[in-house]
């Protein structure tokens, strides 16, 4: 086997462009905002990144597999609403609501996957329909059951403290507060990276995203792989939804709309191709970290937050151009 030099191996990594961008953004805000380098500020940045990164990881795997999920943002809210309303209306232990929410959320993912594989329609159309249905169900059921657009408080119910400890707790390392979502995020990145690089399922994901017909011809279970990827997005939505619920105790039914684009942006900034077959879980984490640095760095620099979307769009374009350049260089050195 031919030995490959370190620079050439680095050029072949899909997250290289995002790492370069993350370093540039970090140095920029380190100079522009005096408080950016404080430990408490970096903790806040990591928390903001983790709330996006938890969903960006499974969305990145789905994009590597060649598909999209436009319902991911509202699915997070649906997960939180099911937990809250089931627990409150059934006067059950909060953990019962959490379990029911997991089943319901996974069922939504299975529905997306089955509809995609059975109808052969584009994932854009399938998940756009799911997005619209969930948006209406979230609002309609919440107003029907609670009479308002938000759920009732469940903070005094049995099981709430332990569920909050798992999904929304804060612990201290020295003088810095760390949110538990950061651990969830790191864990998901580690598991997703292991799946992609060390398992047969990871090879299937890349093969399906590169060319589904060719993958099916060599025996790859394309249908099972795509359904599994949608179930992964649902699992991420369940975790994010429980964090939303146990952080604020109540849930607004209209939340989550538009977040699906942020998850996709984080994955694209991290090196995932829109066309599928290329990307990494680590890259999605770097993309989420760039999002966290930008959203909080603008605040620490005391700039008008209205400029945030401009910076996000500019980073998306720059990341796509840089990733395309890196990929061409990598292919040229093979």
- Cα–Cα distance for residue pair 241/184, rounded to 1 Å: 13
The single residue listed with the structure tokens 């942006």 is: 265
- pLDDT tens digits along 280-305: 999 999 999 998 998 898 889 888 88
Tally Cβ neighbours within 10 Å of residue 313.
Answer: 11
- Got the DSSP string for 173-204? ETTEEEEHHHHHHHHHHHHHHHHHHHSHHHHH
pTM for this entry:
0.92
When the pLDDT of each residue in the chain is averaged and rounded to a whole number, the result is: 90
Task: Check pLDDT > 60 for residue 189.
Answer: yes
Report d(CA 61, CA 65) in Å as an integer: 6
Assign 67 to helix, strand or coil: coil
Looking from the CA of 255 toward its CB, the CA atoms found within 13 Å total 19
Contact criterion met (CB below 8 Å) for 109 and 230: yes
pLDDT value, residue 270: 87
Q: Which pLDDT score, from 0 to 100, does residue 128 have?
A: 96
CA 328/CA 15 separation, integer angstroms: 14
- Each residue of 156-173: pLDDT tens digit? 999 999 999 999 999 988
């Amino acid at each position: 086997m031919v030995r490959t030099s370190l620079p050439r191996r680095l050029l072949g990594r899909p997250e290289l462009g995002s790492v370069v961008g993350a370093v540039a953004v970090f140095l920029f805000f380190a100079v522009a905002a005096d408080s950016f380098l404080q430990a408490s500020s970096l903790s806040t940045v990591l928390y903001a990144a983790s709330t996006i990164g938890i969903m960006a990881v499974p969305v990145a795997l789905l994009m590597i597999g060649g598909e999209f999920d436009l319902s991911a943002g509202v699915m997070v809210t649906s997960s939180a609403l099911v937990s809250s309303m089931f627990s409150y209306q059934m006067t059950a232990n909060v953990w019962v609501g959490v379990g029911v929410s997991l089943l319901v959320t996974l069922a939504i993912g299975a529905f997306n996957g089955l509809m995609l594989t059975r109808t052969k329609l584009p994932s854009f159309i399938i998940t756009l329909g799911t997005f619209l249905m969930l948006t209406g169900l979230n609002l309609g059921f919440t107003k029907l059951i609670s009479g308002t657009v938000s759920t009732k408080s469940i903070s005094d119910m049995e099981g709430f403290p332990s569920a909050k400890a798992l999904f929304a707790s804060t612990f201290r390392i020295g003088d810095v507060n760390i949110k538990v979502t950061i651990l969830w995020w790191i864990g998901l990145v580690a598991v997703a990276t292991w799946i992609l690089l060390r398992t047969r399922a990871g090879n299937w994901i890349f093969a399906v995203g590169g060319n589904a017909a060719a993958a099916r011809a060599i025996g790859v279970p394309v249908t099972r792989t795509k359904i599994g990827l949608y179930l992964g997005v649902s699992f991420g939505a369940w975790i994010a939804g429980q964090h939303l619920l146990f952080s604020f105790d109540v849930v607004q039914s209209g939340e989550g709309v538009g977040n699906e684009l942020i998850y996709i942006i984080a994955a694209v900034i991290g090196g995932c191709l829109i066309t599928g077959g290329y990307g990494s879980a680590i890259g999605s984490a770097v993309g989420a970290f760039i999002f966290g640095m930008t959203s909080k760095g603008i605040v620490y620099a005391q700039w008008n937050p209205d400029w945030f979307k401009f910076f996000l769009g500019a980073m998306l374009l720059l990341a796509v151009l840089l990733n395309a350049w890196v990929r061409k260089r990598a292919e040229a050195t093979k």
